């Protein structure tokens, strides 16, 4: 990674609800830099827009950039994230007749998933969700992504509830099967689903753990460790986090998604994110670097 020393600064202000979004980015000269956005409430006595100039770095190969939006309140974080996902869904339905959305777990996206289906302007029959990764545990476990999605996006009382178990609108690993069969079936199911969207997801939501993992793709620090399988879906393990056995989609598939949206909450996650941006390019150590290089990457960060 190296600092960009030749760039053209462009600023754009957008009024949005009760806050002012000041978008600060740099037009591409040779490469495209990281794009930083700071959301500041207009009621604040001083508007402070930080370029994080000492942190604006660039991967050696060309990338389309990443836009970071900081939020000061849970409401704005949730509402803007829901609006973003809705816009992706509407564009996909308009372009291809269906939207295919990949979901990841964790505490950060839960309120967003809870609010996602509030809109009556979307034909949810044309929206298809899948798991970016899953823990190999029963689907009714509170630690499973299946449980999170079933009790938020597809919860009882919503128009999506009747679609939960139709085997089409929510594709997730069948963890009641032996692990190898579970992976093989999910691979086949996901390939079938992706035919609705031209072979790529319209959006994947992601988080980044404090060790730098995304989905269930965990950092590799041992150079002698063999590379990850090239299969669309494969098995990983972790001793650092709950549930040892994991099932994950691969990094290349995530990179090919038309849009990638990271959710982050809290200073500790931001510290890790900044460390990843500042680190030399090492995608095995920092899988998120591969996502950034692929372009069309967004970060919603609740301070």
pLDDT score of 3: 41
226 or 63, which is more confident: 226
What pLDDT does 118 receive? 86
pLDDT class of 137 with cuts at 50, 70, 90:
very high
The predicted structure's pLDDT at residue 51:
35
Which helix (H) or strand (E) covers residue 290, if one does?
A: helix 287-294
Cβ(191)–Cβ(232) below 8 Å: yes
Q: pLDDT value at position 207?
A: 98
Name the pLDDT band for 95 (thresholds 50, 70, 90).
very high
Is the CB of residue 105 less than 8 Å from the CB of residue 151?
no
Nearest to 91 by CA among 255, 252, 258: 258
* Lowest mean pLDDT segment, chosen from 62-66, 160-164, 212-216, 280-284: 62-66
Exposed/middle/buried for residue 249 (C-beta within 10 Å: 0-12, 13-18, 19+):
buried
Looking at residue 146, its pLDDT comes to 98
Q: Give the pLDDT score at 35.
A: 45
| pLDDT value for 8 | 39
* Percent of the chain's residues with pLDDT above 90: 74
pLDDT digits (tens, 9 = 90+) for 10-47: 444 444 443 444 343 433 333 333 444 444 443 333 33
Residue bearing the bigger pLDDT, 48 or 243: 243
Q: pTM above 0.85?
A: no
Token couple for 191? 């390939």
Per-residue pLDDT at 222: 86
Per-residue tokens: 268: 């500790």
What is the per-residue pLDDT for 7? 38
Question: Could you state, in order of their start, the residue ranges of all structural domains in the chain?
Answer: 2-302
Q: What percentage of the chain has pLDDT greater than the value 70?
A: 79
Tell me the pLDDT tens digit for each residue of 150-202: 999 999 999 999 999 999 999 999 999 999 999 999 999 999 999 999 999 99
Give pLDDT, residue 10.
44
pLDDT of residue 25: 40
Q: Supply the pLDDT for residue 224.
A: 82
Residue located via tokens 């597809």: 154
Fold (topology level) of 2-302: Rossmann fold (3.40.50)
Length, in residues, of the chain: 303
CB burial of 146-182 (b: ≥16 within 10 Å; e: otherwise) equals bbbbbebbbeeebebeebbeeeebbbbbebeeeeeeb
């Amino acid at each position: 990674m190296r600092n960009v020393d030749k760039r053209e600064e462009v600023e754009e202000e957008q009024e949005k609800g009760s806050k002012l979004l000041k978008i600060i980015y740099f037009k591409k000269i040779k490469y495209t830099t990281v794009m930083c956005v700071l959301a500041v409430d207009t009621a604040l006595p001083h508007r402070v827009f930080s370029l994080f100039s000492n942190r604006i770095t660039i991967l050696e190969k060309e990338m389309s950039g990443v836009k970071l939006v900081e939020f000061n309140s849970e409401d704005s974080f949730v509402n803007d994230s829901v609006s973003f996902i809705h816009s992706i869904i509407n564009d996909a339905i308009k372009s291809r007749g269906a939207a295919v959305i990949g979901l990841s777990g964790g505490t950060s996206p839960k309120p967003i998933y809870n609010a996602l289906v509030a809109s009556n302007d979307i034909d949810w029959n044309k929206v298809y969700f899948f798991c970016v990764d899953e823990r190999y545990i029963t689907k009714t476990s509170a630690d499973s992504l299946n449980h999170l999605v079933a009790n938020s996006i597809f919860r009882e009382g919503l128009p999506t509830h009747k679609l939960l178990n139709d085997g089409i609108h929510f594709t997730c690993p069948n963890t009641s099967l032996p692990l190898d069969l579970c992976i093989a079936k999910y691979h086949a199911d996901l390939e079938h689903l992706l035919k609705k969207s031209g072979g790529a997801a319209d959006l994947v939501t992601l988080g980044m753990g404090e060790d730098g993992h995304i989905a269930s793709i965990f950092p590799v620090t041992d150079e002698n460790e063999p590379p990850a399988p090239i299969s669309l879906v494969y098995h990983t393990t972790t001793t650092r986090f709950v549930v040892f056995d994991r099932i994950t989609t691969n990094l290349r598939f995530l990179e090919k998604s038309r849009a990638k949206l990271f959710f982050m909450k809290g200073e500790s996650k931001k510290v890790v994110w900044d460390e990843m941006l500042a680190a030399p390019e090492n995608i095995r150590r920092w899988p998120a670097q591969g996502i950034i290089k692929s372009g069309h990457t967004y970060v919603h960060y609740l301070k």
